[in-house]
Structure 1
């Protein structure tokens, strides 16, 4: 594979973060009518169907070693925990809390990558992540009233912190199977494994919801919103996230996660008429600089690896 293609695929997580940023706009339209655990279930059902369809076009189904199935199930557990904690936590907290706590994911990923995989945490990587984090905070501060931080429930804050850790675990534990098989295979079977788990949680949730299953909206806007979550923010984004993992360390791809609130704020201004805060330009520049620093360090490492190969 040429170096250019390698660098392009290494940037795939940036596209994933952009798709996740779009979830902010979609949720403004219609997700208030869908209970959080059920919403998580619907997204993985649609995502699984899309991923299985794409995987079925190749021969990925026949290449998985039986000994690796427990790893895919474990990844499904992390997916389930991430969806449950993130959606319920977001419902219980303020927008500012959700935005700030979610971007702790890269920090958790770098830590777990160092502990579980022995990845290097260099000064340049630390500086890049710190810069991107500062930029993200500046953007969030311009969009929300940070004085409202703490207004949400303590349980919601704990759940969002847990979501940051569980997605980091999904990223780090996925390294081995992603590189042994492919990003598509790993993303597909991890998502499929989460379907019955989230299905069970959804069933319990709907049993306690007035109207149960019949209470779910079936209007066109809600259906399109769920399709966006399933096709765009799940099938496509999760594949792209793992695609980057084929070429760079988990701690390196994690920095692209900071692009999510930038895209969300920009789309909110473009599609919902929201006003971008004064810190958007400065925060976006800092975020981009941080990503560039981390990405540049990896590019230099790749050149050194090629020279010594």
Structure 2
């Protein structure tokens, strides 16, 4: 990372992980009032609106070829697949299952980066990733009873695995467009094109499942939760994630994803008063060491 701009990778993707750290609790709470696919649609719709407003100011005269729009559309499909399966899977699984399956996302990203972008898989990068995985699992073992894995729906676990693979594909497939244009434009137009795909699924969810809009009234906390998911966890976090891809490879950016469950555990302690033990600190140190090893691998 000789380019000074590359130093941005040390905090921008990690900021995305911080924002995602509280997403599981917020979305799980939101499901009490809004069905999963409907909440995913609202999240992406709000995120797309925010991103589009920013990109119109930043790049007012940008135009794209048909091939570019096809690329954005492919990314939009991955967004729709990821958001739909992630929210349905989260609704059907336990907290421990959701947090543990999250570990698969950077693993898938590393593999797809090597397979499709021809990124180099060095021993140092592999070792750092393994350290980060071990640290994350160590943290989760202190936060949850991992012996209860499997208590949730098998379908829910399957949905979360698909969501992990989908986000990895979104990360890797976005690289060519990020190189050609920018992280902001790629995140914006892929999100915008995902909106109609998720919109189509909302009436399907309400018609063919027992899902209903259960909230009697629009409350302040509910609005805050939806705005958190749309503005922070989507618009800001997705831009930050892709911004890291501007200056480094997918395998390096992916390692920051391991911070998500660790941030979630820390927020649980601060906001909800949950206890954290020595596993949290030991696991956090291992994860941080893994991130350091990966980000200094070149």
Common fold: TM-score over 0.5 = yes
- Once superposed, which parts of structure 1, at least 4 consecutive aligned residues long, lie more than 4 Å away? 208-217
Asked if the contact 2:28–2:91 (Cα under 8 Å) also holds between the matched residues in 1, the reply is no
Structure 1: gaps of 5 or more residues: 302-309
What is the alpha-carbon distance in structure 1 between the residues aligned to residue 62 and residue 55 of structure 2? 11
Asked if the contact 1:10–1:245 (Cα under 8 Å) also holds between the matched residues in 2, the reply is no
What is the alpha-carbon distance in structure 2 between the residues aligned to residue 217 and residue 177 of structure 1? 42
Deviations 1:55-89 (A, max 9, x none): 01122552322321011011010001111111111
**TM-superposed deviation, 1:200:** 0.9
What pairs with 1:194-213 in structure 2 (closer than 5 Å)?
194-208=194-208, 212-213=212-213
Aligned residues: 297
TM-score by length of 2: 0.95
2:150 partner SS: coil
Q: 1:210 to 1:31 in 2, by over 3 A?
A: closer
Alignment root-mean-square deviation, CA: 1.8
What is the alpha-carbon distance in structure 2 between the residues aligned to residue 184 and residue 210 of structure 1? 38
What is the alpha-carbon distance in structure 2 between the residues aligned to residue 9 and residue 60 of structure 1? 27
What is the alpha-carbon distance in structure 2 between the residues aligned to residue 219 and residue 146 of structure 1? 35
State which drifts further: 24-33 or 5-14: 24-33
Asked if the contact 1:25–1:272 (Cα under 8 Å) also holds between the matched residues in 2, the reply is no
2:264 partner SS: helix
Q: 1:263 to 1:216 in 2, by over 3 A?
A: farther
Structure 2: gaps of 5 or more residues: none
* Counterpart in the other structure of 1:306: none
* Counterpart in the other structure of 2:295: 295
Asked if the contact 2:34–2:214 (Cα under 8 Å) also holds between the matched residues in 1, the reply is no
Asked if the contact 1:179–1:246 (Cα under 8 Å) also holds between the matched residues in 2, the reply is yes
Asked if the contact 1:90–1:98 (Cα under 8 Å) also holds between the matched residues in 2, the reply is yes
Deviations 1:84-132 (A, max 9, x none): 1111111111111111111111110111111111111111111000000
State which drifts further: 204-213 or 100-109: 204-213
State which drifts further: 131-140 or 208-217: 208-217
**TM-superposed deviation, 1:23:** 1.2
| 2:185 pairs with 1:185 | yes
Asked if the contact 2:17–2:260 (Cα under 8 Å) also holds between the matched residues in 1, the reply is yes
Q: 1:216 to 1:141 in 2, by over 3 A?
A: farther
Asked if the contact 1:135–1:284 (Cα under 8 Å) also holds between the matched residues in 2, the reply is yes
* Counterpart in the other structure of 1:240: 240
